[in-house]
């Protein structure tokens, strides 16, 4: 009997120790892993507002959506996306943002500078995290304190443009160019710094330039025709969404006159410009989505998340326009090569989807 009691007590001790062991918390893991595990099965509401319907910005939105869908699968969470496009209308933009706030979104995404600035103002009190995309100069516009330490509830990705690099391409292709046209929308914050840089570059070389501006497709079309009359040798446009929207309406005007249009994004070349120079907007969209997930899943603070910038070394040449202007693509690629990390080719289409 004593032996049976001893065995029984031994078994009770073993089970008791096992139970105690199972009640102990697991050892801490890396913060991001723990946060992701805690978030498993959760739904996050993300509000995305696009500034205008154009190839560059639409490409960013598409890649944000697809990357968030993939990250959601990987982390067993759902990113519930509310998307809208204000079409450059400030009143519509304000209403979209107000709707996001009313819907209690977990994070807002502002595509392009005007949307990011509106979201900054709208979230000063509620401090909803904001991730912007394709903001060319976030410091000068006051969105962030510095690229390394944004300092508020905003961070994001920048498509900062190296204007001097584009100027170098213009004169590499045509060393005898005497007059350059500057085509932009004076109301676009993204254009202010690169246009000033272009003027400084041209002034330093004693090159004449002509400024033509427009705020609508009709105005931009008239501006393009005026540049033909002005007799410019080439036209420069930065990452200006107004001109991007009008590119399909003006590219033939310039090409027929033998004037190459040098621009700040590959989407311009997609829509008929001779050359687009700048960031890969598909990759920018993916990187923006990664930042969104890092904030929502891993608890990263926007104020401490550096703004992501990119190498502006890719030149995209429209081969149809290249031929129309009398250039050989292989020869012009060799001419541009010393000033670029790579030279890509593209043909005219309304959107990147049309190339598939």
pLDDT digits (tens, 9 = 90+) for 141-181: 999 999 999 999 999 999 999 999 999 999 999 999 999 99
Q: Would you say 113 and 190 are in contact if contact means Cβ atoms under 8 Å apart?
A: yes
Whole-number mean pLDDT of the chain?
90
pLDDT of 6 strictly over 50: no
Residue 35 has what pLDDT?
Answer: 57
Burial of 289 (0-12, 13-18, 19+ CB in 10 A): buried
d(CA 48, CA 152): 19
User: What is the model's pLDDT at position 40?
Assistant: 73
pLDDT recorded at residue 55 = 87
Structure tokens at 92: 């519509």
Share of the chain above pLDDT 90, in %: 81
pLDDT at 37 over 60: no
Average pLDDT over residues 319-324: 98
How many CB atoms lie under 10 A from the CB of residue 22?
7
> Is 309 exposed, middle or buried (CB count within 10 Å of its CB: 0-12, 13-18, 19+)?
middle
Say if residue 29's pLDDT is above 80: no
pLDDT at residue number 19:
39
Sign of the Cα torsion 109, 112, 115, 117 reads positive
Q: What is the pLDDT of residue 158?
A: 96
Please compute the mean of the pLDDT values over residues 183-192 and round it to a whole number. Answer: 93
Cα–Cα dist 347/354, whole Å: 10
Predicted confidence (pLDDT) per residue in 218-243, tens digit: 999 999 999 999 999 999 999 999 99
What pLDDT score does 33 carry?
Answer: 47
**How many angstroms separate the CA atoms of 29 and 10, rounded?**
35
Q: Is pLDDT above 80 for 13?
A: no
For the chain, domains (ranges, CATH) are 42-159+281-304 (3.40.50.2300), 163-278+313-355 (3.40.50.2300)
Sheet strands (E) in 91-192: 107-111, 130-133, 154-156, 179-184
pLDDT of 257 above 70: yes
* Whether the predicted pLDDT of 51 surpasses 60: yes
Mean pLDDT of 94-102: 98
Do residues 315 and 273 touch, judged by C-beta distance below 8 A?
Answer: no
- Residues 210 and 224: their CA atoms lie apart, in Å, by 11
The pTM of the whole model exceeds 0.85? no
- 223 with 213: CB under 8 angstroms? yes
pLDDT, average across residues 338-350:
93
pLDDT above 80: residue 2: no
Tell me the CB-side half-sphere exposure of residue 22, using CA atoms within 13 A: 6
CA-to-CA distance for 182 and 326, rounded, in angstroms?
Answer: 22
Distances from the Cα of 147 to the Cα of 76, 267, 305, 313, angstroms: 31, 25, 9, 20
Lowest-pLDDT range of 29-38, 260-269, 324-333: 29-38
Mean pLDDT of 85-110: 97
In the sheet that holds 130-133, the strands lie side by side as 78-85, 43-50, 107-111, 130-133, 154-156
Higher per-residue pLDDT: 67 or 136: 67
Q: What pLDDT is stored for residue 11 in this prediction?
A: 39
Would you call 66 exposed, middle or buried from its count of C-beta atoms within 10 A (0-12, 13-18, 19+)?
middle
């Amino acid at each position: 009997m004593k032996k049976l009691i001893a065995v029984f007590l031994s078994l009770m001790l073993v089970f008791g120790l096992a139970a105690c062991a199972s009640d102990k918390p697991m050892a801490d893991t890396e913060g991001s892993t723990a946060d992701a595990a805690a978030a498993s099965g959760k739904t996050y509401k993300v509000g995305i507002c696009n500034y205008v319907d154009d190839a560059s910005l639409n490409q960013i939105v598409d890649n944000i959506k697809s990357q968030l869908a993939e990250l959601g699968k990987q982390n067993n969470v759902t990113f519930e996306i509310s998307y809208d496009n204000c079409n450059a209308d400030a009143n519509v933009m304000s209403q979209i943002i107000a709707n996001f706030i009313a819907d209690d979104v977990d994070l807002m995404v502002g595509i392009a500078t005007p949307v990011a600035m509106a979201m900054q103002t709208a979230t000063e009190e509620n401090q909803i995290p904001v991730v912007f995309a394709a903001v060319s100069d976030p410091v000068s516009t006051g969105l962030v304190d510095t690229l390394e330490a944004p300092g508020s509830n905003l961070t994001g990705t920048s498509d900062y443009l190296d204007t001097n690099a584009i100027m170098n391409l213009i004169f590499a292709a045509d060393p005898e160019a005497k007059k350059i046209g500057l085509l932009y929308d004076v109301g676009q914050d993204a254009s202010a710094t690169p246009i000033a840089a272009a003027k400084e570059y041209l002034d330093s070389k004693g090159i004449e330039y002509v400024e033509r501006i427009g705020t609508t497709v009709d105005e931009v079309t008239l501006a393009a025709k005026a540049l033909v009359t002005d007799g410019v040798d080439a036209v420069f446009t930065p990452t200006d969404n107004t001109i991007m929207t009008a590119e399909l309406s003006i590219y033939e005007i310039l090409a027929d006159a033998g004037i190459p249009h040098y621009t700040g994004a590959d989407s311009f070349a997609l829509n008929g410009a001779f050359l687009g120079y700048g960031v890969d907007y598909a990759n920018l969209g993916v990187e923006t989505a990664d930042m969104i997930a890092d904030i929502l899943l891993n608890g990263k603070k926007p104020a401490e998340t550096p703004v992501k910038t990119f190498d502006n070394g890719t030149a995209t040449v429209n081969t149809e326009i290249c031929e129309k202007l009398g250039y050989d693509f292989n020869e012009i690629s060799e001419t541009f090569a010393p000033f670029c990390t790579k030279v890509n080719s593209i043909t005219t289409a309304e959107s990147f989807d049309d190339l598939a």
